[in-house]
Structure 1
Amino acid sequence: MNLAQGKRNGVRIIKMHLATMDKFIKPLISIACALFLAGCSSTEKIDYMVVSGSTDEGNDIFATLIEFDGRWSVPAGAMSCCRATAGAMVGVYEQKFPEKVAVEWLDKSENRIYYGEVAINEAGYKLANNLPAYSWVSTGEIEKNITPYLIIGMGETGEIKVWLTNARSERNRIGRVLHELGSGQAQWRENN
Structure 2
Amino acid sequence: MVAGVGTENGNAIWGRSVVFDDTWGIPSGAIGCCYGETRATVGVYDQKFPEKVVVEWLDKSENRIYYGEVAIDKAGYKLAKNLPPFTAHTGKVFKDVKPYLIIGMGETGEIKVWISNTPSAGFTGRVLHELGSGQAQWRENN
- Shorter chain as denominator, the TM-score bin is over 0.9
Specify the alignment match of 1:175 in structure 2. 125
Q: How many residues align?
A: 142
Specify the alignment match of 1:146 in structure 2. 97
Superposed CA deviations along residues 24-49 of structure 1, whole A, max 9, x for unmatched, are: xxxxxxxxxxxxxxxxxxxxxxxxx1
Unaligned residue ranges in structure 2 (runs of 5+)? none
Q: Distance in 2 between matches of 1:62 and 1:185?
A: 18
Q: Distance in 2 between matches of 1:189 and 1:87?
A: 27
Specify the alignment match of 1:130 in structure 2. 82
Equivalent pairs: percent with the same residue? 63
Q: Which amino acid aligns with 1:117?
A: E
Specify the alignment match of 1:89 in structure 2. 41
Deviation at 1:108, TM superposition (A): 1.2
What is the alpha-carbon root mean square deviation over aligned residues?
A: 0.8
Unaligned residue ranges in structure 1 (runs of 5+)? 1-48
The answer to which structure has the higher strand fraction is 2
The SS at the match of 1:59 is coil
Q: What TM-score do you get using the length of structure 2 for normalisation?
A: 0.97
The answer to which structure has the higher helix fraction is 1
Q: Distance in 2 between matches of 1:147 and 1:80?
A: 24
> Which contiguous aligned blocks of 4+ residues in structure 1 show a shift greater than 4 angstroms?
none
Q: Larger RCO: Structure 1 or Structure 2 (Cα < 8 Å, ≥ 6 residues apart)?
A: 2
1:41-190 to structure 2, matched below 5 A, reads 49-139=1-91, 141-171=92-122, 173-190=123-140
Specify the alignment match of 1:31 in structure 2. none
Q: What TM-score do you get using the length of structure 1 for normalisation?
A: 0.73
